[in-house]
Amino acid sequence: SVLPRGDQCVTRNSLYTKTEQPGRFSYTSPRWGSKHNIHVVETNYEEYALVATQISKSSGPSTMVLLYSRTKELSPERLEMFTQFSREQGLTDDEILILPQTGEAGSMGR
């Protein structure tokens, strides 16, 4: 994945391991030792993928919800689906971020 870091973009590679359940993967951070349980919640493969991650680390559990898109713009319905699902996972509106379109590398994801 490509992530914005200040005025640069950095590439991060992570090796996810398939579990016995379809659409579910696991990952352990070699740097932090945190355990990640990843679930592809919904996708249509051509437009978007909604992914939820439960993270277990020494400071306690956390949840991350990501909406990946193959285009710079998503329909309001997809964005609402992302927001609603994030709320259902316990995230507050202050914790739900939708990045603005900037035309730079950071605009590739939401």
Beta strands in the chain (DSSP E): 2-5, 8-11, 17-18, 24-28, 35-43, 48-57, 60-69
How does pLDDT run along the chain (110 residues), one tens digit per residue?
A: 677 788 888 887 778 899 999 999 999 988 888 999 999 999 999 999 999 999 999 899 999 999 999 988 888 999 999 999 999 999 999 999 987 776 654 444 43
Total domains present in the chain: 1
**CATH assignment of the domain containing 53:** 2.40.128.20
Domain that holds residue 78: 23-91
